[in-house]
Structure formats: structure tokens, C-alpha cells
Amino acid sequence: MIEANSAEPSPASPPKGDWRWFLLETLAITAIFALYVSTLGPEVNEPHYLCKAKHYWDPDWLKGDFFLSAPGAHYTFYWTLGWLTLFLPLPVVAWIGRLISWLALAAAWRRLSYLLIPHRWCSIATAAMWLAALHYGHLAGEWVIGGVEGKTFAYPFVVLALSLAIQNRWNPAWVSLGIASAFHILVGGWSVVALGVAWLLVGRKSASLFSMLTGLMGGGLIALLGLVPALLLTAGLPADMQSEAHQLYVFYRLPHHLVVHRMDLLRQYCFAAITAGWAIFAWTTRGNRDMKLINAFTLGSLLIAVCGVAIDQICCYWLGNFDLGAKLLRFYWFRLSDVAVPIGLSLSVGLRLFVVSEEERRSLARYASVTIVLLVTSIALGLRIEERLTSSMPPADDKASVSNYAEWQAMCRWIHENTPPNTTFLTPLNQGSFKWSAERCEVVTHKDVPQEALSLLGWKERRWRTNRYERLSTDQIRMLSRDYDIDYVVVDTNARPDFAGWDFPRVYPVDENSDSPYEIFRVR
């Protein structure tokens, strides 16, 4: 067990480090983030968010696209980064957003880690441990480092709020979480709840509720930028349609994020393992007040997750009330614990290894422990980095089951150069990068699900009517074209080897001898 050591500086007031060391460590952590992603992109969610942002600023861009025309919820993200799409290509905007969010998160992490462990280089080690634990130990698929979207700007403010709370600067901490909520209402909102638990358990002796009213009200007003658009997503819709939309969202589209009994069993074991590891190290570092606050925040995130488990079991099993279950489970009860438990684990381990007495510092056991932890972390991240560096395609296409990346890109380039800008394409449902690469409208994809309830029901209808469209007859395709203004249809013959063709003219591939698996038919 670690007790307070008079020989060590107080973690709440570490010696002021040279700004050059702060910059150097921040850049080193950012480099780890960049290696972890290790791809030119697009990442899985980047076409989803950045195409939406571009359409927000230029409504004439892909004007007829169903998903882009649906109301959104991340307007702070659109206002912050989206305007760049007016002047720069989407991949360039993605890289700008990535670098800004990575630098912000790295700086916030270095600040937090240094407050707890005031030794140079240690923040790099704790950041690597956090990233490895998050990658291999998540339950519900939450991630922090990856493509740019709303939550990648929200999490730096969550980490910043933790460091401000450690310094008993509670008012700025609540404001910081208000900014996080403006970028992503659920990331910031659940963080407010978890930090509230930390204040109740650890911080209330140093700050009264009355003294925090300014920060709470200021943060709450800023959070309205994220809360109001989210509330409008279901406004004015009849109760039965809201219920159908909620169940569709929770139990059909996103159960791997929202419904614990539908989550992968291996993921449950991994999360249980890192939670047990956190509990052990949280106990051994319980004598440190600042670490106790971080661990109380982690505990708060787990209490939120426990509420999600209870809702799942009570509504889905005991009551059989899936309507109520969907209404409640759509709030991502497991999102914050996926991130907070690795935060608590990495910082607890770092504190246990690096903040020790002079006698412990020279012990062989400590050297062995530091070596083992750093070696395991390096191997874990190394495997991930090696996997990404050797991947034959970026994540957005890999995860979306694009059968031939090179030919897919060639087809998208041909479409961009040879078809009118606002034509609409019926495309394979499981791909996610057509708008990004071809810059043309789509009827529907599995990935691009609207968040607004009425549009979500429209997505369901389109999804159902176009499922396995390669098996439809010429007349059925013509009917879809009439209903959804379809100009062209794309077929992946690798995915559908039984495709028999239609009576429409084939416009791609132009070369009759081409072995491209992608064919394009002009419907009208």
C-alpha cells in the first residue's frame, strides 16, 4: 500500500515543470496516438460525421442524399470543424481534426498524469497503458483515439476537468464538462454524473455545493448547445412512432453498444478483467487523496454502467417491456466506463510504480514490475500498430466489407469524373465510404443511420426495401428508382456471384475486358 510520503512533493501541487518538457511529452503522446491509428483513412466514422458537416455548410453538396438531409445532433462539431470543408478536401479536414484533437487530448493527459505522478516521461507511459487497456478491455466498443468526430473533441475536456478537480478548481471543471457536453452530450453528460459521484465521495470537504454554483450554471448553459439538438430529435412525433424508432435504434442497429446481453462474451470477460485490475490497484493507492478522486470518478462510471445492466435485465427479462427498455437503453450507459476504467487503472498502476520511497525505488522487485508493465504495454500496442500498418485498406472500407479496395476506389473516381454531381446511387448496403470517395448521393447504407426519429423510420423502410437488391427484377428496380429518385445502381459481383443482370444499360466498367467486380447500371 502507498501512503503519503513526506519526501515526495504533494501530487496536488507538483513542482512546476519546464514548458519544454510539457511540449516534448505532449508531442510524444500525440505520436503514440498517431501510430495507434496508423492509416491515411478514412476511419470508420469519418465519412459519417464529416460528410454531414460538409453538407451542413454547403446544403447544395449532395442535396438529395437521404442521410445528409436528415436533422443532426452534433452542431458544435459542425461549427468548429465543418467550415473547413468549404475550402479543403475531406481527407485534409480529417487530418486537421485528428491532429487538433490528439494534441488537445495529449496535453490534457500530460497535465493530469503529471499532477498525480510529477516525474518526467511518466505521462507517456501512463498514456500508453491507458490506450492499451482501452483497446483490449472495452465492453461496449467505445474508443477515444481514431477518426475525428464530436467525441474526439469532448474527451480532452473530460480529462482536463479531472485535473482541475484534483486542484480543487471545481468551477472550471464543471465548465470544462459543459464544453465536452456541447461537443457530445452523452460523453459530457455522463462525465458530469461521474464527477458528481467523485465530489460526493472525495471532494465535498474541499468545495461546497454553493461554491460550485457558478461553474455548474455556466457549464449547464454551454451544454445546451449539445442538449437542445438532441432533444429535438424526437420532438413532435407520436408516441407509437417514437417507440418504434427507439427499438429500431437500440435492438436492431446498435445493440453492440447499448444492450449488455447482446454484447460479445469475450468483451465482457476483458472488461471484467481490467475492472478487477483497477479495483486492486485502486485499493493499493487509496492513501493518495488525488488518486482517490480519480478512482471515485471511475466508480461513478461503473455505477452508471450497473444502472444500464439493471435496465437491461429488468425491462428485457423480468418485465418483457422492450418499449421501456429501448427508451432507457438508448442513452449509452456503458460508454463512459469503457474509458474511465482504463483511466483509473493506468494512473493507479503508474502511481504505484513511479511514486515510491527511496528504498522502494532501488528494489529489484520494483525494477521488475516496471519492466513487465512497460513490456506488456509495448507488445499490446505494437500488435495493434502492426495490424494497422499492414492493413490493405483503411478502416471505413475494411469494416464495411468492401471486397476489393483498389477497384472500389477506381469505380468511385470514375463516378466522380463521369456522372452529374447530384445524381443518386443505389449502393451496397454495408459499405460506408461511397459519399466520401465518389461524392454522390446514396439511397441508404447500414452505417449512415439518422438520429432523428422520423428519419430513422424512413431509414428502416429504405433498408428493408433495398436489402439484397441484386436479386430484384428489372421492374422492381424501376419501381425503387421511381420512389427514391435513383439514377444509377452499383453491384458488387464478388459479394453477389449469383447476380443475373438487368435490362438497364451498363455504364461501368467501360472496358468490356475489365475484371472489376463492380458494375454500374444507369436506371434513368
293-334 pLDDT, tens digit per residue, is 999 999 999 999 999 999 999 999 999 999 999 999 999 999
Least confident of 30-39, 185-194, 348-357, 441-450: 348-357
Q: What is the full DSSP assignment across 212-242?
A: GHHHHHHHHHHHHHHHHHHHTTSTT--HHHH
The yes-or-no verdict on residue 432 having pLDDT over 50 is yes
Question: In this predicted structure, what is the pLDDT of residue 17?
Answer: 55
Question: In this predicted structure, what is the pLDDT of residue 10?
Answer: 42
Q: Among 372, 389, 406, which residue terminates a domain? A: 389
**Claim to verify: residue 57 and residue 108 sit in the same structural domain:** yes
Q: Is position 13 within any domain? A: no
Question: In this predicted structure, what is the pLDDT of residue 85?
Answer: 96
Question: In this predicted structure, what is the pLDDT of residue 359?
Answer: 62
Q: What are phi and psi of 467, to 5 degrees?
A: -65, 130
The yes-or-no verdict on residue 215 having pLDDT over 90 is yes
Mean of the per-residue pLDDT values for the chain? 91
Where residue 444 falls among pLDDT bands split at 50, 70, 90? very high
Q: Among 366, 389, 412, which residue terminates a domain? A: 389
Q: Considering its fold, how many domains does the chain have in total?
A: 2
**Claim to verify: residue 284 and residue 419 sit in the same structural domain:** no
The mean per-residue pLDDT over the stretch 222-247 comes to: 92
**Claim to verify: residue 373 and residue 404 sit in the same structural domain:** no
Q: Is position 97 within any domain? A: yes
Question: In this predicted structure, what is the pLDDT of residue 327?
Answer: 95
Question: In this predicted structure, what is the pLDDT of residue 355?
Answer: 81
The mean per-residue pLDDT over the stretch 478-503 comes to: 90
Domain of 32, in residue numbers: 19-389
Question: In this predicted structure, what is the pLDDT of residue 363?
Answer: 75
Ranges 44-48, 112-116, 492-496, most confident:
112-116
**Claim to verify: residue 421 and residue 333 sit in the same structural domain:** no
**Claim to verify: residue 406 and residue 382 sit in the same structural domain:** no
Closest CA to 337 of 134, 150, 147, 153: 134
Collapsed DSSP state (helix, strand, coil) of residue 65: coil
Q: What is the full DSSP assignment across 138-188?
A: -SS---SSSS-SHHHHHHHHHHHHHHHHHTT-HHHHHHHHHHHHHH-HHHH
**Claim to verify: residue 405 and residue 377 sit in the same structural domain:** no
454-489 pLDDT, tens digit per residue, is 999 999 999 999 999 999 999 999 999 999 999 999
**Claim to verify: residue 420 and residue 364 sit in the same structural domain:** no
Q: Among 389, 420, 450, which residue terminates a domain? A: 389
Q: Is position 5 within any domain? A: no
Question: In this predicted structure, what is the pLDDT of residue 6?
Answer: 36
